[in-house]
Structure 1
Amino acid sequence: MNFRQHNDWAMNDRGGAPSSEVEGAVSAPVPIEGIRGKLTADAPLAKLVWFKAGGHADWLFEPADLDDLTEFLARLDGQLPVMALGLGSNMIVRDGGVPGIVIRLGKPFSKAEALDDCILSCGGGASGILVSSTARDAGVAGLEFLRGIPGTVGGFVRMNGGAYGREVSDILIDCDVILPGGELVTLPAADLQYTYRHSALPDGAVVVSARFQGTPGDPKEIGTEMDRIAEARENSQPLRTKTGGSTFKNPDGQKAWQLVDEAGCRGLMMGGAQVSEKHTNFMINTGDATSADIEGLGEEVRRRVYAHCGVELEWEIQRVGRA
């Protein structure tokens, strides 16, 4: 990758707490004098992910702004693993919890702004709904598909999120990333080496902002397309349940949901986890599922699909932490 030092502290909001706030009885992993964000030891993560299951983070850091996050990671200097957490929509947090530091980007990173030449500048914590709505209001077309991605800019930039025939690699200009050692760099889209639901971003890198390229469009037509996408999702996906989004990647030329269905897995259960009756590429937590139930069910589906047709499904959902 061709890292370029980024000196324009984009998306920076110098608000936040006047001094550091630490919750938990153990010593902080870095000196916290001057750190203004919230640092919590042994932080429960189940409430922060869509499946509503899983263990705790060793540490959860919620930075006050970009300067605060950069300083915190510089002090950490790669001594502990780092994981960014957005809306938690495409993730299984294993029951043993997540080692190291989980970074959760809040309001200072959740802005979206239309610039000249149909460019959208967005914080890493901005949702797909906010980005697409901001584009619509500014008459910028080409970003409507983000309405169908239940996540944040940081997550779908990392994973090349896509829906309804388009993906992030089609629109990304560049992104601002903090590396594990605290260095803030700008990466052009080409450096991310995008493939299907994958990028070359280093482990522990945190996407703090991104620029997307659209085209001129009519706000009414853009809104109509966004409404179509929202209705299609509502009609076809189990959105009103505790789910994690699409479970498996689509194999070349095939649909994962169809392979799962043909293998007889519709409605299959393990503990409190179930393959959705509504959309078989979704798993749901029926109420009391553990993350082991959910991941185990996914592995059983993979086994049955392979036995039925010889296709080895690949996980799309991220599975993180200790078993």
Structure 2
Amino acid sequence: MLIFGMVILASFVPARGEVRPILDVAVKVGIGLVFFLHGARLSREAVIAGATQWRLHALVLASTFLLFPVLALSAAGLPAWILPASLAPGVIFLGCLPSTIQSSIGFTAIARGNVAATVAAATASNLIGIFLTPVLAGLFLHRSGSGGIPLEGLQAILLQLLAPFLAGHLLRPWIGRFVARHAKSLSRLDRGSILLVVYAAFSDAVTGGLWSRLGALDIARLILVCSVLLALVLGLTLAAARAARLSTPDEITLVFCGSKKSLASGVPMAGVLFPGDALGLVLLPVMVFHQIQLMVVAVIAQRYGERPGAEGDASPATG
């Protein structure tokens, strides 16, 4: 709700004039802070503990960085009366994002799934996504005729995302306990930075004529496209899990990690890769999909958790 509140605020009170340069600096600092905290929270022990299930992790990564981008590219090629051309780059970018971490782990725990494997899979997805998401987005955007991503954007990824991430992770032995102890306060700072990026993005988009280009019907079409994308990936990951004869806890990990996309990583990445008024249009599909996936997966997680024998199936890490 706060994220959409930023969209409404920017629609009526966009940042202009002398405020704009100050906001730009604050956004860059906020983006660096988000990835610094990502790095500081990354537990090598958790990754190692779950990384032995290579077949499960290969399926999760294939869904996140192969299946989903292909489906997103196909969706971007739909006629304009189904998906407006101005939103197609955002749908492609959505398809290239890594999986979520916090919500994947939370929903897996509710569903009595393999939490240790989910921690490993989601963490690996986000770590790989720092490198792979910009590359995939550039390739798929170029293929769709949307122009791709300039070299400066890839260089900015290294400076604004990767460098803070590595710094946070290397400092983990010294700051890890502090970060864990103040997790609640730091999560507010983390989320506040994301809200700031959203406000800045939609300020530029609104001053660039966003709402003169998009109407309520366009938003409704976007909701439909995102819903169909999610349904397809959920169905295909479930089919893949059963074809591979995964246990139910591992099936839950594949379905949840393989179908979800990270707003926490997507907003800062988009802020680096898509400067100017194009950023708002790119972020809109990511924000819409994020809300849909939370509502749908919450229902699925509850149903998994109520299955007969769920207590016995649950990973020991859930306790």
TM-score normalised according to structure 1 size: 0.21
Q: Which gives a bigger RCO, structure 1 or 2 (Cα 8 Å, sep 6+)?
A: 2
Greater fraction of residues in strand: 1
TM-score normalised according to structure 2 size: 0.21
